[in-house]
Amino acid sequence: MTGRTNRRRRTVAGILVGLAVVTVVVGVVLAARGRSPSAPLPGPSGTASARTAATPAATPTSAAPAAHLRGLAVTESRLALVDPSRPVVSGGVTLATERHLATDVWTPTGPGPYPLVVFAPGYDKGPSDFARFCSTLASSGYVVAAPSFPLEDPAQGFPLDRGDLPEEAGDVSFVITSLERRSGPPALTTGQVAVVGHSDGADVALLVGYGPGTTDRRVTAVVAIAPDPMAAVPAPSSVPLLLVQGTEDSIVPYTASQTVFGQVDAPVTYLSLVGADHLAPIIGGTPWTPLLDGSVADFLDATVAGRGPGPAGLATALSGSPLVALRTKT
């Protein structure tokens, strides 16, 4: 989607033939929540600095896995990560000799251990744009880390360039390594890593999960929200994918996620947000927002944390509404 122009597409492709469709009623609408303004990006020195603290309901009292953890207290910090081994290059021009990856981290209060989720922001966005979503996901028992990509986040000051997506897949792997090596609480659960992304960030998540030459084998689940089709044919994989898109997405055509559904040779759960646009559901305050939040958490509970029923549970939780349609393949 070169340039990410705001063209409106109101025609919605039909549901794939031969796959089960589950429709669902939702009785809850999440009220709009404000976002904190972006904090200045740190320089190359330093480690972590405390920023804000969310105050959901309860603090965990045990590190033991629990079914459907929700409402844990969350703190937010920022890590000034720098990868000195790779430059920032756009159009053949080296813009920086190292990649500054300021990473916002949302952490459940308590000793853990918790699974790690790396969230990849999309084009012209940074971590703070998705603070609501990341904090909500962390409150379900995940350490959520969202890096600022040099050529996606305007706060970095470089011209934006979608050609950097393969390098951003490398950024995600660098963040995983950095978080795994970090000492101190909370502990991360060994072997439980997921990548979640929106728009261009969803393209990055697919590259990390299934892309030839960019796959990170530490990743055990992928969530791609409004992705473009993959440019290269992915290799067969056992890593499960949750694919999400609004049927009236005005930025990425709804047909794009249908293409991805066919491309990825892995277990796929495909959640269509019927009538939803591109960005609003994940930013918050829409009828689809609680569906998106809950479905991502339930999917990760089942596929990463080992504490939920999986796609069958999603079908049960999402039964009866015109707001969503659910399809699966194994």
In a domain, 33, yes or no: no
In a domain, 252, yes or no: yes
Give the integer Cα–Cα distance in Å for 136 and 306: 19
Tens digit of pLDDT for each residue in 188-235?
Answer: 999 999 999 999 999 999 999 999 999 999 999 999 999 999 999 998
Question: What's the domain range around 142?
Answer: 69-329
pTM for the complete prediction? 0.81
Residue 182 burial class via C-beta count within 10 angstroms: exposed 0-12, middle 13-18, buried 19 and up? middle
DSSP three-state, residue 287: coil
CATH number for position 214: 3.40.50.1820
**pLDDT recorded at residue 265:** 96
Tens digit of pLDDT for each residue in 224-251?
Answer: 999 999 999 998 999 999 999 999 999 9
- Residues above pLDDT 70, as percent of the chain: 79
In a domain, 155, yes or no: yes
pLDDT over 70 at 70, yes or no: yes
In a domain, 232, yes or no: yes
In a domain, 62, yes or no: no
| Torsion region of 128: left, alpha or beta (phi above 0 gives left; psi -120 to 50 gives alpha) | alpha
**pLDDT recorded at residue 62:** 29
Domain count of the fold of the chain: 1
In a domain, 58, yes or no: no
Tens digit of pLDDT for each residue in 77-133?
Answer: 999 999 999 999 999 999 999 999 999 999 998 888 999 999 999 999 999 999 999
Give the integer Cα–Cα distance in Å for 116 and 219: 10
In a domain, 14, yes or no: no
| Band of residue 321 on the pLDDT scale cut at 50, 70, 90 | confident
In a domain, 57, yes or no: no
The crossing angle, in degrees rounded to 10, of helices 289-300 and 131-138 is: 40
| Band of residue 185 on the pLDDT scale cut at 50, 70, 90 | confident
| Structure-block tokens of residue 130 | 């998705």
